[in-house]
Amino acid sequence: MRIIGVNGSPRKTWNTAMILGSVLEGAASKGAGTELVHLYDLDFKGCVSCFACKAKGGKSYGRCGYRDGLTPLLEAIADADALVLGSPIYLSDVTGAMRSFVERLVFQYLVYDGAYSAIAPKKIPVAVAYTMNISEARLTEWGYDRMFSAFEGPLKRTFGSVESLAVTDTLQFDDYSRYVATAFDEGAKQERRRTVFPSDCEKARQMGVRLAEAAEVLRR
């Protein structure tokens, strides 16, 4: 069983990467082979509307025909048994890199028939982890719940199922005194990092366990 994690954050060792690492750790505890890919290491674009993935009889029908640094990852996901995506929230959405990646991932499998069918090679469970600065109490106020639903909808239609985790009120910096950040209480942020973030990581780990279990069921 192979599970691929995709980090949509430019930071490789901070909140999103740590949560993804916990998800993959949980999956590995169930025997899954895991891999973590950092999108910001790849040189790629979003969908370029070439429509090669939809050309009748075309050699790239059903898969992205645009070749760049994302191609190996798209090919690996086509063979994977499960997928976990992670992104911080920037300006009330996932990062631009994550959005561009999902465009390429999903659009290749979307058929312009009456049902807008999906022709992914197989159904696989997908997990999504979001990290953000705002509190859990403000998620609905800021419309993040609607954003999560909109982001996950195409993934669910394409691959079959999506489970998500929202990690809120995260620590932005090691040293707040270096930045203009008076909107935040550094002491409260540091305390939450010490007392709450470990439980967020454990929730992520348990999500990884469930992801691997769901993948194993689909493999049978």
**% of the chain residues with pLDDT over 70:** 100
Please choose, from the candidates 88, 108, 89, 102, the residue with its C-alpha nearest in 3D space to the C-alpha of residue 16: 88
Instruction: Inform me whether the pLDDT recorded for 59 exceeds 80.
Output: yes
- End-to-end CA separation in angstroms for the chain: 11
Residues 13-42: b if buried by 16+ CB within 10 A, e if exposed? ebbbbbbbbbbbebbbebebebebbbbeeb
pLDDT in tens, 25-49: 999 999 999 999 999 999 999 999 9
Instruction: Inform me whether the pLDDT recorded for 220 exceeds 90.
Output: no
The pLDDT mean for the chain works out to 96
pLDDT in tens, 72-103: 999 999 999 999 999 999 999 999 999 999 99
Q: How does residue 10 score in pLDDT terms, banded at 50, 70 and 90?
A: very high
pLDDT number for residue 218: 82
Asked if CATH classification 3.30.420.40 holds for the domain at 2-219, the reply, yes or no, is no
